[in-house]
Every structure is written in C-alpha cells, then in structure tokens.
Structure 1
Amino acid sequence: MSQPGIAQEVSVETKNSIINGLKNGPAGLTVTNIEHTPISGIYQVSVQGNKVFYSSEDGQYIFTGQMFKVAGGKVTDVVQLKQSQKNIQKIKQVPKKNTIVYPATGVKKHQLNVFTDVDCPYCAKLHQEIPKLNAMGVEVVYLAFPRAGIHSPSFSKIASVWCSETPKQSINKMYQNQTMDLLECDDTAIIAQHQLALDLSLKGTPAIFFEDGKIMYGFHKAESLLDMLEK
C-alpha cells in the first residue's frame, strides 16, 4: 500500500471513525485536529491543551510518544518537523513591507527570519553580524517581538523604528542606545507580529527561524549560522 501524503487532508469518514472510537475513552476528550502520519493507517490526533497522540483508523488503539523518521544518517522528530513547516508558512504570510529586510549581497543563497526586540542585548549583538551574513549571501528579515508586551516602552520603541522613514538607521540607534524621538503612528503591524510570536510560542529573542522552520535562540556568529544553513 502506498504511503499517504502527509499534507493530504484526512477524509471526513476517517475523522469520524477515529472520533467515534475515541468516545469510548476518557470523557471530555476534545479533538481539535487529525492528520496523516508517514505510516499508513496511523493518524496524529491533536486535542485541547496542545496534546498530541497517535491513533488507529478506528480510534480503538492509541499510543503516545515521539515518532522519528530515520534517513540521511539522522533521526528527525516527525511532529516537530510538521510544526516547523507550519511555523515557517505562518511567517511567510507576513507582508515584506511590514518587515525590515537586509538583502543578501549579490546572489541570495539563504534567508533567515529573526524576531527581534530593541531592548534585547543579544539582539544588538546579532545585529552586528548582519553585514557579514549579507556578504555571505544570506538575507535577513526582521520581525518585531517586543517581549514586554504591547503597552510597554519596548513596544513604543520598536513601533517607532518600524514607522520611521529610515527604519534601518533608527534600529541602529536603538541598538546603540542613542536618543531617538518616539513616534505616534500606525502600530498595527507590530501588534500582529507580537501576536504571531505568541502563537509560535517563542521563548525569547532573538528568535532565528531557518528556511526549514527550525528555530534557534540567542546570539550566534555569522559563520556559525551559515554553517548551519548549509548542512
């Protein structure tokens, strides 16, 4: 039997079969999503509380734990891989005009999406690596994540950067602790990106997303990031 495509939608009949089978289990189990897995006849079931388990097609057998794919000399967490792919798709939906883009010099080889906070010292350190990354063919796209919240001084600062006529110069000033007048402007984009960061369950800044959705936190030198991009 051929392996189902993971991205393929599970049929209504199969979903109903699993849900009906699960009704024989604990009361109050609310299914939020059912997806294919790489294994034919085994489905990934998500329930309220961001919990995940696996089920047979009739919902009569379930098991928990991690599922790994073994290939290319490594093992990959299947759930984590699927979530990473979903995360990067959400990030790609943010209009480029609402970000700060540092394009690659010459041919673009890679892209990093970075959630940044102007009051984050490690963000300031990473910012200094951008010219090197650009020279190596890496485009860096900044998204805003003022971790202190949408009513905080950090929010006002980063909103002022995004609203500035020269955002790259403004963010340089912020990272260098230079005085800058705060602007009253449309902060809708910052609110949306802050909410996206929360939806992605980000734990800190800088939050660096690779092209495959993998995430890393904190400061890393340009050479180290390039090495990880090319693995």
Structure 2
Amino acid sequence: MNKRFLTLAFLAAFTPLTACSAGASSEAKPAQPTAAAVKKAFAERFPNRPVKSVAATPLPGIYEVVLPNRQIMYTDAKVDYLFLDANLIDVKKRESLTEARMASLSRVDWSTLPLADAVKEVRGNGKRKLAVFSDPDCPFCKKLERETIARLDNVTVYTFLYPLAQLHPDAERKSRQIWCSADRTAAWTGLMRDGKALSGPDNCATPLDKLQKLGDSLGINGTPALAFESGRLVSGAQPLEQVEAWLDEKAAK
C-alpha cells in the first residue's frame, strides 16, 4: 500500500470528525517567534547542518525547515522536537502541503538547461519539449523509452546522459560511446528501444561531468528523471497518458 493511499485513507476515516468542531478561542494569543529566530535556534542545535530556509506553517508553533538537499522537516519554535519524514496535511482541502512544497522546491528553470549537451530527438512537429536524465543500463529508462517516449508525437526530447556508475559500472563507457557516435540519436534509440549493441570509439570529449553536476544541483539521484517546460521535475518510468498531460502544462507564472 503506497504512502499516498494511506494518507487518503486516513483523511477518509476522520472526515466525520471534521464536520463538527468547537470554534476557535477568542482569547489573545502570544506572538509567535519569527522564522529568523527559529533558523538561529536550529543553527545552534545543529551547527553542522546548513539550512536553506525556515518558514511558519499554518499550524501554530510549527515551522518548516528546508535543508540544501531539499529535505523538509518540521520543528517547534525552540527546536526541541523535530518531525522527520512527516507529511503535513490540509484536512479541509485534502491536500499534502509537504508534497506541494517538495514540488515547488524541485522546479526546474527550463531556460537554464544546457540543451546542446543532450541527445536530441524530434518527433512530429517537435513543438512540445521534454528533457530526460537517463542511464543506458537502467531498465526503467528502457521501459520509459519503449512504452512512453517512442509513442509520443509532436515533441522534442532532450536526453541528458546520466550514468549511475555505482549501480551500472559499464554505463559510463556506453554513455561515452553514444556521445562519440556519428548519429547520437540513432545510437541511443537503437540501444534503448531495439536492444542494438553499441560500437565505435568512446574517447571523444563528452559533457558527462558537467551533466553529473547539473543533476546534483537539481537533486536528481536516480533515473529516469523527467523535466518539463512547465518546470515540473518527476522521476520514474511514467506512463504515456501522464507524460502527455504534463507536456501540455503551462509554466507557472
């Protein structure tokens, strides 16, 4: 049972309890500490854990703490207690505030992507745009290629070669071979969709180191990872219908 299902089940079970509740007290409430004060308290408690941001949540006395690796945790004003791997839910809206915040933190500025360093494939009129961080030895990347990308139309796909050497020791060599090919797109699609073996040199200059740094900066630690013009960044071999919907999303203003 996945985490999202459990969250919805929890909300459904407690819905009757949200229909009738006592009104809020009219008594004056003490001023809440500022986010800056909470950030200072966190730094004093954990001097070796840099903090990217601190913000108040809708829950009085509870603050969101974001670390540089996009990890979200919650704490009280004095940082006496921490909520790790928590999911803050807006019960009335039936929404996860944590999931929404994670999506916001993970957004990609499409204009900053080094598209010249990608394997480019144009399908149909190529109007829609998709960038994929992919490993040539990743079975889920091959699934994405065969079941989703190969069936897309009117899209330009930019594939950033992103070998995960710790999982697939030969993936870096294959990535170099693909980049060194006279026809990179044919080499990539032949391998990933048709199972064709690679041939040719692997000793040309490649952008692999640059792409690893890019992936690290975006918090990508697995493949495939898909970036859309809207700024959405998702991981996994997503189904065709979902990718189609995301391709048609507009960028957030």
Would the aligned equivalents of 1:45 and 1:55 in 2 still touch at CA under 8 Å? no
Partner residue, 2:170: 153
TM-score (norm 1): 0.66
Show CA shifts across 1:108-150 (max 9, x none). Answer: 35x43322111233323432343421x2x44432122212259
User: Match for 1:172 among 182, 189, 192?
Assistant: 189
Pick aligned residue for 2:55 from 23, 30, 36: 36
Q: How does 1:135-146 map to 2 (within 5 A)?
A: 135=153, 137-146=154-163
Cα distance in 2, alignment partners of residues 124 and 36 from structure 1? 40
- Alpha-carbon distance in structure 2 between the residues aligned to 1:89 and 1:23: 28
Tell me what 2:209 maps to: 191
SS for the counterpart of 1:88 is: coil
Give the residue type in structure 2 aligned to 1:18: V
Q: Which residue of 1 aligns with 2:234?
A: 215
Q: CA–CA distance in 2 between the matches of 1:85 and 1:193?
A: 22
**1:66–1:77 contact (8 Å) kept in structure 2:** yes
Instruction: Supply the distance in 1 between the matched residues of 2:73 and 2:96 (Cα, whole angstroms).
Output: 17
- When the two chains are superposed, the root-mean-square deviation of aligned CA atoms in Å is 4.0
Task: Give distance in 1, aligned partners of 2:102 and 2:174.
Answer: 31
State the alpha-carbon separation in 2 of the partners of residues 77 and 214 from structure 1.
17
- Whether the 8 Å contact between 1:174 and 1:180 is mirrored in structure 2 is no
Residue aligned with 2:144, SS: helix
TM-score after normalising by structure 2: 0.61
How is 1:38-57 mapped onto 2 (pairs within 5 angstroms)? 39=58, 43-46=63-66, 50=71, 52-56=73-77
- Counterpart CA distance in 1 for 2:66 and 2:104 is 17
Structure 1 portions without partners, runs of 5+? 1-12
SS at match of 1:143: strand
Structure 1 residue aligned with 2:117, among 98, 103, 108?
A: 98
User: Separation in 2 of the partners of 1:106 and 1:48?
Assistant: 39
Question: Do the aligned residues in 1 keep the contact of 2:130 with 2:226 (CA within 8 Å)?
Answer: yes
Bigger Rg over Cα: 2
User: Which residue is equivalent to 1:122?
Assistant: 140
Report what 2:201 is aligned to.
182
Assess, with a 3 A threshold, how the Cα gap between structure 1 residues 153 and 35 changes in structure 2: closer, same or farther.
Answer: same
